[in-house]
Amino acid sequence: MCSLRALKNNIFPCSEKGVVEQVRKISDGIWDMTVLAPKIAGASRAGQFVHVRVSDDFIPFLRRPLSVGPARGDFFRLIFTVKGSGTRLLAAKEAGGEIDLIGPLGRPFIIPGEDQFPILVAGGIGVVPLLLLDNQLPSDREMEFLLGIRSLKDATVDEVEVGQRRIHLSSEDGGVGFHGSVIDLLIKKLDELNHEKNIVIYGCGPGPMLYALKKLCQERSIPAYVSLEVPMGCGVGACQSCAVPRADGGGYYLVCHDGPVFNAADVVLLPGVLP
């Protein structure tokens, strides 16, 4: 499968049967699945997603979009919250099982320039595309990686990964890391950096967090890119269920076709849930 837009953007999504290498529960309702899928693992750029067929049956009919997580060699990880029927079926897959994928799909994050200081700001499960972005930056790159969770029992990455990637955690209940939201932690970091760096922000997380992130970045004139994880139907630009309003008043963007990564200045974000 290869669309004209994909060709224009030099992105070549394909259909691939992956094999589940490992699946483990990280915390309450959060699963981490390693998939062997050489074509997708090799071609994916941070911010892109795969459209996953969660069952061999007709139901559920629609595929589920999930961000491509950390990739190494022929493998990549899917990290997901079990929300409804689709993700429940996915979590029930066992090592050795097949998984039907289309990807990588969507526009990725623009890799920061050498003169820029990236700050990765994740809320909850929004950490997934930022883990891949972290992988795609040189290991000695000066940067900050912030992750906000509600509490330790809702952790979206385990302690080992937090340590290895030097992720600064914030938690709403104060049980781990900075006590407060990831936006509060970001404000603290920005104040510490005191305008000495050419900052660019990469964000992914729930709607209210992205709204606050955009507002803060506008107030401080900091460029920001956000990945929008809105509900999707078809995933190919046909059903319009993933529309988000354009900031220039010129109608709507389709997240599956024009995103999921946007310059935060280009989209209207609302204080409630996405979109």
Ligand X SMILES: Cc1cc2nc3c(=O)[nH]c(=O)nc-3n(C[C@H](O)[C@H](O)[C@H](O)COP(=O)(O)OP(=O)(O)OC[C@H]3O[C@@H](n4cnc5c(N)ncnc54)[C@H](O)[C@@H]3O)c2cc1C
Residue in the block written with tokens 């990739």: 71
Q: CA angle at residue 137 from 230 to 214, to 5 degrees?
A: 40
- Dihedral of the alpha carbons of 83, 181, 211, 79, in degrees to the nearest 10: -30
Question: Which residue is at the shortest CB distance from ligand X?
Answer: 84
H helices of the chain, in order, are 4-8, 38-43, 85-91, 127-136, 159-164, 182-193, 207-219, 255-258
Stretch binding ligand FES (CB under 6 A), from 1-9, 68-76, 199-207, 226-234: 226-234
Query: Which partner, ligand X, ligand FES, none, binds residue 15 by CB below 5 to 8 Å per kind?
Result: none
Of residues 8 through 67, those in contact with ligand FES by CB under 6 A are none
**Sign of the alpha-carbon torsion through 156, 157, 162, 167:** negative
Q: Which of 89, 90, 186, 232 binds ligand FES (CB under 6 A)?
A: 232
Binding site for ligand X (CB under 6 A): 49, 60, 62, 64-67, 79-81, 83-87, 125, 128, 229-233, 241, 260
Nearby residues of 71 by Cβ (< 8 Å), 6 or more positions away = 41, 42, 44, 77, 132, 135
CB of 243 to ligand FES, least distance (A): 7
Nearer to ligand FES, 43 or 256 (CB): 256
Residue 14 CA to chain centroid, in angstroms? 20
240 binds ligand FES (CB under 6 A): yes
Query: Which partner, ligand FES, ligand X, none, binds residue 238 by CB below 5 to 8 Å per kind?
Result: ligand FES
Query: Which partner, ligand X, ligand FES, none, binds residue 67 by CB below 5 to 8 Å per kind?
Result: ligand X
Rule CB under 6 A: which residues touch ligand FES? 232-235, 237-242, 254, 256
